[in-house]
Chains A and B, each alone.
Chain A
Amino acid sequence: MNLSNLANALNQRKKQKQKFKVTRKRNYTDKSIDVPKGLYEQCPCCKETVNMKQTLENKFVCKHCGEHFKVRAIDRINLTVDPGTFVEKGLGYITLNPLFNEGYEEKINAYKEKTNIDEAYIYGYGELNGNPCVIGVMDSYFLMGSMGSVVGEKVTRSFEYAIYKKLPIIIFTASGGARMQEGIFSLMQMAKTSAAVLRHSDLGLLYISVLTHPTTGGVTASFASLGDIIFAEPNALIGFAGPRVIEQTINQTLPEGFQRAEFLEEKGFVDRVIPRSELKLTLSRVLRIHRRYN
């Protein structure tokens, strides 16, 4: 009895020693500090390390230079909508592969797991400082927020939901354009969403589109630039053709600040550039002015 106990104790001691050795070894070889992933990130503008926990309180804006980071769709809703009022609509869409593109389904599934949403656009009912509206958000982390059949359908559905409820609609766009993998179907989504805007607009309802970084391609050329009121976030890239494509066609480097939100405001395609800290207040004020009591 005693002997076996002793043997056990010895074995345990041995294991502990080995563990110690291993940890010591690791400490010596691996010099990097063990930090949870995503806690610290480098600001793309000023190259300063930023504590993401602190930026969350600061609405994902860099403390040092005021750079507006990209925001996930769910975070955007949390930032914008009054807590506890958001009800997501239009769930259960399944993306298919119309052109039988190799690896497209796997890609979609990987992004689904990574971002925890089922497509690049979510919408639902929400209130902004007590003003009811339909709110739709595109997520640029999901395959660059590209517009395929499902995104087009959900955008259209969000307009139809707004028509049904007679509510104004706010859409935050962040997209690389139409989804190439779905071919002609993606192209048709442009016409489909534009027609949805028309139907919504016919009933005298308000549509505010907020252009965030980046909004390019087929989304700019459809519902994003059809808002009654168009706001933009500072330094957001907004344009039809991407900067690289333009550089290739004209064989020149583009001037600084080209296709940015401030540039578009100067050219008259954006109503106002609003920093993120004032966005919710401005939106709710606009909604209040357009509110209809009937």
Chain B
Amino acid sequence: MSGSSYTIACPKCQTVNTVRGKAMTLALTCSSCKTYFGVGKWSKDLTTFGTSYEPVLPIGAKGKIDGKVYEVMGLVVKKEQKYKYDWREYIIFNPFEGYAFLSEYNGHWNMVWPVDDVPPLAMSASDFVDEGFHFRLFQKYKAKVIYAVGEFFFDVVHITETTFNREFIAPPLLFALEKSDDSVLWCKGEYMTPSEVASAFQIPVSKLPSKTGMGYTQPMMGKIKNGAVVSFSILVFIFLLIAQMFFSGSAEEKVVYQGNFFQADLKDQKFFKTSSFTLEGGSKSLEVVVVAPLLNDWFFAEFSLIDETTGTETIFTKDVEYYQGYEDGESWSEGSTKGEAFLSQIPAGKYHINIYPEFSTSSHEFSLTVKRDVAAWSNFWLTLLMLSVFPIGYFIRRNWMEKKRWSESDYSPYEY
């Protein structure tokens, strides 16, 4: 830290250490013998650690986070006392902002800073809402410092051993409570990607620990929020519905042909020919409705719509089936006696239809109705289905990842 000429002699080896945090530093490790000691005359304990860790963010390195320059003051490695996993906390400092922590576990980072404003319910409830975010209790733990290097603004070893911790998450945010007999400290935190950390301290991202598994505050699918996905989906649905209602309301649905056909009239011919009908008003849709009085039977026909002026043929088929019965005390039915074929963009002109029917043993007649300018709901449903893929996929993935995230918590709302 520039400008510091504050020095303290190590009580163990007498090495004179320059203290970058000046009088704010209340504990440090000796640059020579690595002993951890407090600087106050009240603190006589000396701590040595049986392990060692090389900080990936060097002590003294400066980094810019949210436009503010922080200096890395120290690093502690903490071990959770029940499940015995460990993580690293870098204490960082800016004279105008105070101190904060960069916490790293399995390659996932959180920036954590002390806060004054805490939701009132946070002290007692297992979940609470703050600024629209629903925070849930993720873990309770006690920890121990297994390694420390650098400078600290409090006796991090003693405080860690005497505090009980609770953490609440609403990814990418968290609230952390450190509570002891002497203090209640609330911190707020936010997930940082390794790239953001590397960029802040201008070090290669490859120098940082590789990510393993899912971070407990890691946001899903970037910065997309559930509310935004729901709102977007609702807006798209409303827009589509309004558009469909508009086109439906303006559709004419004019019956241009209606006729009944009997197998007996076919005699030795292979097809029926409808009388001519006229389609008006440019290129518009056409709906052909076939109704056959069927019971446990089927009817099939091939239709050829013929433009009498140009001779152009539009061929389509329609299959109608209807079955019903009574089984195991319940009646059932399947299919319908009615079928529709929808043709889009049929130009105006004089037309007739040739019908090539296939009657079954018991079906002997059918009726045909031709409507001009019919609103197509199929396009609406198809578009809606396509646009639903993203939100449905998002929520399926979100649920899967949430379950995975909470699998590491004793307070998971999910069952496994």
A and B held together in a complex: no
